[in-house]
Amino acid sequence: MKLKALKPRLHNAMFHTHTVSGIVISFALFICFYCGAVALFMDEIYQWENPEARISGVEASAVDYDQIITRIEKEVPNFNKNGQFGIVPPTESNPMVWFYGSTKDAEGQTDRFMATLNPESGELVSLGKEPKTHLGRTIYELHFFYQIPVIGIYLSGLVAFFFLFAIITGLLTHWKNIVNRFYAFTTEGKWKQIWTNGHVSLGFIALPFQLIYAVTGALLGLSILLLAPSAFLMFDGDTSKVVAAVRPDAGFKYDEDAAVVDGAISFNSVFEKVSEGYPETEITYIYTNNYGKEDGTVSVRVDDHRGISGDGVFVYGFKDGQLKQADVPNEKSYAQSTFGVLIKLHYATYGGIFLKIIYFILAMITCYIILSGVMIWRTARDNKKYSDKQRRFHHRVTKVYLAITLSLFPALALIFIANKLVPMELADRVFYVNSVFFSGWLMFSLIGLFWNNYRKLNRNYIVIGSVLGLLIPIANGLVTGDWFWNTLANGQYYVFSVDMTWLIIGVFGLAISLVYLKQKEGKEDLQIVRPLRKIKERPILTEEPTPVLQNFSDTK
Amino acid sequence: MPANPKHLASPGHRVLKISAGILGGFLVTILGHNALGTLLENKSALIVTTAFSAFIVWAILMVVAFMFKSGWKAWGVYLLLIVLFGTIIYFYK
């Protein structure tokens, strides 16, 4: 069956815009999906990254939250009790209590801080701008380029938006071939065909997933583009009204000079009230504005982690304990639930760990689609219609893209090792761990530029990453003493699964690179980019061995 | 096989189409949504819808800009829409 093709002019216009937009965003988009896929498990890997968090059997309801506020007041000079501050209760995967607040000095300068506390003793474990371990967060932040000051997040939003553009144009470009390519997924034949079949058929399978990420990613990165004009055009420039429409709990106004009153409620009483009313629903965040003042509020965010609309928020007045705003999970109106649905679709928090695994696989498929797109681009231009100079340029661009993206795998293994080898006691340890990661990534990318053969490039990165990956469980065992057989026996599955995953990745990676990728190496080492330089001396071109491996094939 | 250049627009038209798609498309999207918003009573439902529909509409308008044969025509149509939505916002706000 063939779908009706677009008219030639339209097809070519779509094809060209798809190619250009795809090539421009490709490596950035790869980083978004690759790091984002790992960041899905940010909470699940937390116990692995922070040995101090390897506590079991913690009950969120047993924690004395008011005691924690008193403790913070004592430990943090200039703690700003009237500003917004909040507590994340302990969970099974992340059993620490997290406190987010701000300080305000005599001149009125405010500054944010965070603290982690032991859930049982209430003792302070870390205090400052950053937590002691940052592995998951570093990967998470990289997926929206947070490390690039100021503009990073907007860049990621733009990348997501152009991804949406590339999805639509790609769908139109490949429209007539969607069905027959779907049944032609093969690893044999000409390389151009392999890349194209994979690109189209996998792209079709992952289409809904990618559409979700393009839209929600653009929203998370570029919400400012919607917020400001809507505030200006509909509410005379009052952004708080737009914010209130999206997040009702953020729409309250607070007066800094409100009278100090004795409250009818405390964090503990609010926690109890909500968990009694919704015993099946987890409390994810308790926070407050203008605490201790007449117009203050204490709010609770909840999430059952099951339904797409299973999140909610309850806002209580501090003075009288009255419920001022309630977004009840699974009973919300369209306006109340939509934003939460978009967030849940992006963070995959509506279907447990298996949904996250499916998301992870789809994200990896998307990474393949991105790279196969680059390979199609290069392979299709690898013929005599292009001058040597052009072909070398195509080769170089492809090589740089592959080096940047494929070296992320060994770099990722490196940050896991660095997380263990940099001592916990060291001040600024987060800085050192991140430096190892980013300089390691840079180094791996640069080495890759010397490997002219794509097959070799790919295989070398897999080998390096697999060897480093195998070292990860060993590093964890040596440094923390929690060898993976111990964590399995003790039922510390969050720690065990990280070690085990890396072990499996390492073994499989080595097996694939040794058995599969080695087979044809002897023959193809001859066909690296060098022959191209000789072409100049021989004016008549027959089917020359082309820069890397593949011969041109005109496909209709 | 890359796109056939004989079907692609000249550089001048390309600039027009790209600018019409990105800038014109954005203005049409935002003004269109807000024009609808000024006519509706339930503004919060529209605003949360904008959170996802705006990017979809904008991207489609970018694609449509490339479907026009002439870049001038793309800008012309988008300018007409901008004026139309702008008028609605001006009179009904």
- Cβ neighbours of A245 in B, within 8 Å: 43-44, 47-48
Report the distance separating Cα A37 and Cα A29, nearest Å.
12
pLDDT at A100: 93
pLDDT at A549: 40
Cα–Cα distances (Å) from A52 to A124, A126, A488, in that order, read 12, 10, 18
The pLDDT-based confidence of A520 (bands split at 50, 70, 90) is low
- A113 DSSP β-pair partners: A101
Task: Give yes or no for a contact between A296 and A263, defined as CB atoms under 8 angstroms apart.
Answer: yes
Mutate to test the interface with B, among A16, A239, A337, A381 (most CBs of B within 10 A): A16
Task: Give yes or no for a contact between A342 and B51, defined as CB atoms under 8 angstroms apart.
Answer: yes
pLDDT at A189: 79
Report the distance separating Cα A480 and Cα A42, nearest Å.
20
Report the distance separating Cα A360 and Cα A206, nearest Å.
12
Report the distance separating Cα A174 and Cα A274, nearest Å.
51
Q: Is A158 helix (H, G, I), strand (E, B) or coil?
A: helix
Task: Give yes or no for a contact between A60 and A301, defined as CB atoms under 8 angstroms apart.
Answer: no
- Give CA angle at A56 (A55, A57), nearest 5°: 135
The pLDDT-based confidence of A271 (bands split at 50, 70, 90) is very high
DSSP letter at A175 equals G
Query: Measured between CB atoms, which of A12, A223, A377 is closest to B7?
Result: A12
The pLDDT-based confidence of B12 (bands split at 50, 70, 90) is confident
A117 or B2, greater pLDDT: A117
- The minimum CA-CA distance between B29 and chain A, rounded to whole Å, is 10
A180 or A556, greater pLDDT: A180
Mean pLDDT over A446-458 rounds to 89
Contact residues, chain A to chain B, C-beta under 8 Å? 8-17, 19, 161, 164-165, 168-169, 172, 214-216, 218-219, 222-223, 225-226, 229-230, 233-234, 242, 244-246, 334-335, 338-339, 342, 377, 380-381, 554-556
A548 or A318, greater pLDDT: A318
Q: Is the pLDDT of residue A341 over 80?
A: yes
- A121-146 pLDDT, tens digit per residue, is 888 888 888 888 889 999 999 999 99
Partner-chain contact B47 A246, CB within 8 Å: yes
Q: Is the pLDDT of residue A555 over 50?
A: no
Stated as kind and residue range, the H or E segment containing A32 is: helix A8-39
For chain B positions 39-58, those within 8 Å of chain A (CB to CB) are: 42-45, 47-52, 54-56, 58
Q: What would the two tokens of residue A341 be?
A: 């649905």
Q: Is the pLDDT of residue A42 over 90?
A: yes
Task: Give yes or no for a contact between A437 and A138, defined as CB atoms under 8 angstroms apart.
Answer: yes
Write the single-letter amino acid at A360.
F
Q: What would the two tokens of residue A316 be?
A: 């209580």
Mean pLDDT over A192-202 rounds to 88
Mean pLDDT over A47-66 rounds to 88
Q: Is the pLDDT of residue A476 over 90?
A: yes
Mean pLDDT over A50-67 rounds to 87
Partner-chain contact B48 A172, CB within 8 Å: no
The pLDDT-based confidence of A452 (bands split at 50, 70, 90) is confident
Beta strands, E only, A484-536: none
Q: What would the two tokens of residue A470 be?
A: 């195998």
Dihedral (Cα; A380, A382, A386, A390), 10-degree rounding: 110
pLDDT at A541: 42
Partner-chain contact B34 A229, CB within 8 Å: yes
Partner-chain contact A230 B45, CB within 8 Å: no
The pLDDT-based confidence of A291 (bands split at 50, 70, 90) is confident
Q: What's the mean pLDDT when you consider all of chain A?
A: 86
Partner-chain contact A380 B2, CB within 8 Å: yes
Query: Measured between CB atoms, which of B42, B48, B60 is closest to A168?
Result: B60
For A373-389, give the DSSP string. Answer: HHHHHHHHT-STTS-HH
pLDDT at A534: 44
The pLDDT-based confidence of B1 (bands split at 50, 70, 90) is low
Report the distance separating Cα B35 and Cα B18, nearest Å.
24
Task: Give yes or no for a contact between A296 and A84, defined as CB atoms under 8 angstroms apart.
Answer: no
Report the distance separating Cα A116 and Cα A98, nearest Å.
5
- A348-385 pLDDT, tens digit per residue, is 999 889 999 999 999 999 999 999 999 999 998 888 88
Write the single-letter amino acid at A313.
V
Q: Is the pLDDT of residue A542 over 50?
A: no
Q: Is the pLDDT of residue A186 over 80?
A: no
Q: What would the two tokens of residue A418 be?
A: 């660095």
Mean pLDDT over B65-86 rounds to 93
- A299-317 pLDDT, tens digit per residue, is 999 998 888 888 999 999 8
Provide CB contacts within 8 A for A21, sequence distance 6+.
A162, A165, A166, A169
- The minimum CA-CA distance between A420 and chain B, rounded to whole Å, is 41
Q: Is the pLDDT of residue A149 over 70?
A: yes
Mean pLDDT over A492-497 rounds to 92
A129 or A477, greater pLDDT: A477
Please choose, from the candidates A107, A106, A87, the residue with its C-alpha nearest in 3D space to the C-alpha of residue A98. Answer: A87
Query: Measured between CB atoms, which of B45, B55, B67 is closest to A335?
Result: B45
Cα four-point dihedral sign A263, A267, A268, A271: positive
Q: Is A293 helix (H, G, I), strand (E, B) or coil?
A: strand
First to last CA, chain B: 52
